[in-house]
């Protein structure tokens, strides 16, 4: 049976429309601040519905291309209901205006669960991301250190995490970061701040086995 060009075109369009909810969920987008454009990566849940509210998770990323996903959701196809944002939230304590512009842009374009965001940090970028959350705690519902810790020498500053759910995930083979996480967790609990810690058996500093589902399952714990 001969298939006409029109029939082929109809089949291609139908396939595109059918797969649209499953592909193209990740993109490079931008927001404006001080008359400049700044890129960020965004990955939407499968079957995203603009009328529904979703939890939004922000992780460190250079956001220079669509492939600049934050480390702990690299290659993820199913976001497990999260909107995942990659942006330069590290070293941003002197860029709070820029970060505020990003968060307000996201609120204007997506229904953010609880009107607050979640953050993840790891290794050398973690102290500055904790610092950012402490500078603008009203924007954040939770933060996860994978392995990541705040500078815990200033208890008055740590009190600014009041109202933010904190969790530490660290490998038992990563002794320096494990001890630091244990100390930070203890201090936060003494200050009356919601904090949990999970020590991964045989876990290394970079916990590659947790990329994707393992991390997203843990992020889920901080949703109120």
More confident residue, 6 or 49: 49
Residue 7 has pLDDT above 90, yes or no: no
Tell me the CA distances in angstroms from 219 to 28, 41, 175, one per residue in order: 23, 19, 23
* Average pLDDT of the chain, as a whole number: 90
pLDDT tens digit sequence for 115-129: 999 999 999 999 999
Degrees, nearest 5: CA angle 213-204-77: 20
Q: What is the CATH number of the domain that holds 168?
A: 3.40.50.1820
The rounded distance, in Å, linking the Cα atoms of 28 and 132 is 23
What's the pLDDT tens digit per position in 43-98? 999 999 999 999 999 999 999 988 888 999 999 999 999 999 999 999 999 999 99
What are 127-170's pLDDT values in tens digits?
A: 999 999 999 999 999 999 999 999 999 999 999 999 999 999 99
Structure tokens at 182: 């244990």
In the prediction, which pLDDT does 26 show? 84
* Residue 5 is assigned to a structural domain of this protein: no
Q: Is the pLDDT of residue 108 over 60?
A: yes
Please indicate, yes or no, if residue 18 is contained in any of the structural domains: no
Please say whether the beta carbons of 119 and 145 come within 8 A: no
The 3-state DSSP composition of the chain as helix, strand, coil percent (nearest 5) reads: 40, 25, 40
| The pLDDT of residue 66 | 87
**82 in a structural domain:** yes
pLDDT band (50, 70, 90) for residue 20: very low
User: Is 8 part of a structural domain of the chain?
Assistant: no
C-alpha 77/C-alpha 64 separation (Å) is 20
* Domains identified in the chain, total number: 1
Distances from the Cα of 184 to the Cαs of 59, 139, 153, 220, in angstroms? 21, 22, 9, 21
Does any domain span residue 4? no
The domain of 107 spans 26-220
DSSP string, 45-65: PTT--TTS-B-EEEEE---SS
């Amino acid at each position: 049976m001969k298939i006409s060009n029109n029939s082929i075109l109809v089949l291609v369009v139908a396939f595109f429309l059918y797969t649209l909810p499953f592909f193209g969920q990740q993109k490079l987008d931008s927001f404006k601040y001080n008359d400049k454009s700044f890129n960020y990566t965004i990955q939407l849940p499968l079957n995203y519905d603009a009328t529904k509210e979703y939890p939004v998770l922000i992780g460190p990323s250079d956001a220079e291309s669509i492939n600049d996903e934050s480390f702990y959701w690299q290659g993820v196809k199913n976001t497990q209901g999260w909107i995942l944002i990659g942006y330069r939230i590290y070293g941003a304590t002197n860029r709070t205006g820029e970060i505020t512009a990003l968060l307000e842009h996201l609120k204007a374009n997506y229904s953010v669960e609880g009107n607050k965001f979640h953050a993840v940090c790891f290794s050398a970028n973690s102290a500055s991301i904790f610092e950012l959350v402490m500078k603008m705690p009203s924007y954040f519902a939770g933060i996860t250190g994978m392995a990541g810790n705040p500078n815990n020498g200033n208890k008055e500053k740590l009190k600014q995490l009041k109202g933010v759910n904190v969790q530490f995930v660290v490998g038992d083979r990563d002794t320096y970061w494990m001890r630091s996480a244990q100390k930070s967790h203890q201090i936060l609990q003494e200050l009356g701040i919601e904090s949990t810690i999970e020590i991964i058996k045989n876990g290394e500093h970079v916990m590659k086995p947790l990329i994707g589902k393992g991390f997203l399952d843990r992020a889920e714990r901080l949703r109120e």
